[in-house]
Amino acid sequence: MTTPPAARYIGRMRFVSLLAVACLGLSACASSSFTTEVKGESTVPAGPPGVDTPLNGLPAISSFAGMDFDKNQDFKNQGIHKGEVTSVKVESLTLKVLSPNDQDLRFLDSVEFYARAGDREARIAARQDVSALDLRPPNPVLSLRVDNVELQPFVSAPSMSIIIRGRGIMPAREVRLQAVVKLQVETGLL
């Protein structure tokens, strides 16, 4: 017994329709990604003249304290709330001398950045032997080595901070630094 042409046509159309619905359903659940950037500044005080004074820490970056990513402009532009984020990773982290523009980074031996939310903390980037890198003025930029850390739990927390730690010798002059953290954000939404 052969199937009439009209029945074969209807059967194919049902299959095509079912396939189209399945594809639409899968694409609605596909992930979407975007990059966001957070910037902040810190000023390292000058050491006493003529004395090599150990630098046992770097001043906090105030704009990196208590960040709420629901207030982040890139999240707003994407129409995303931090609770919808499925993954966040550091794409890059740089530290730049803003002033004086003829200052190098030889006063730093090591620098590390940490993400913190509540009592949870994870290192996100670091660089050792900074003074040996010979980063010269004007306005040298240090690229840190990024750790492969999942930051989704930090970003979706009520607030997140990025902490800077470093060691070296206090500079002869006050040095203003800028940190730029680029984050790759993924969501389960299109």
- Does a structural domain hold residue 7? no
- Does a structural domain hold residue 173? yes
* CATH number of the domain encompassing residue 45: 2.60.120
When pLDDT is cut at 50, 70 and 90, the band that residue 188 belongs to is: confident
- Does a structural domain hold residue 16? no
Average model confidence (pLDDT) across the chain: 88
Report the run of H or E that residue 99 belongs to, with start and end. Answer: strand 85-99
Instruction: Reply yes or no on whether the pLDDT at 19 is more than 70.
Output: no
Tell me the C-alpha distance between 187 and 86, whole Å: 5
- Does a structural domain hold residue 113? yes
Share of the chain above pLDDT 90, in %: 80
pLDDT tens string 116-144: 999 999 999 999 999 999 899 999 999 99
- Does a structural domain hold residue 63? yes
Start-to-end CA distance of the chain, whole Å, equals: 47
Enclosing domain of residue 82: 39-187
Query: Which segment of 9-13, 17-21, 41-45, 119-123 scores lowest on mean pLDDT?
Result: 17-21
| Whether the bond into 48 is cis, omega within 30 of 0 | no
- Does a structural domain hold residue 2? no
Tell me the C-alpha distance between 67 and 85, whole Å: 15
- Does a structural domain hold residue 29? no
Give the pLDDT score at 2: 64
Amino acid present at 35: T
Say what the pTM is.
0.82
Token pair, residue 91, equals: 């794409």
Give the pLDDT score at 173: 95
Q: What is the Cα 74 distance to its own chain's centre?
A: 12
- Does a structural domain hold residue 182? yes
pLDDT tens string 32-66: 999 999 999 999 999 999 899 999 999 999 999 99
Count how many domains the chain has: 1
Query: Which segment of 11-15, 98-102, 156-160, 186-190 scores lowest on mean pLDDT?
Result: 11-15
3-state secondary structure of 59: coil
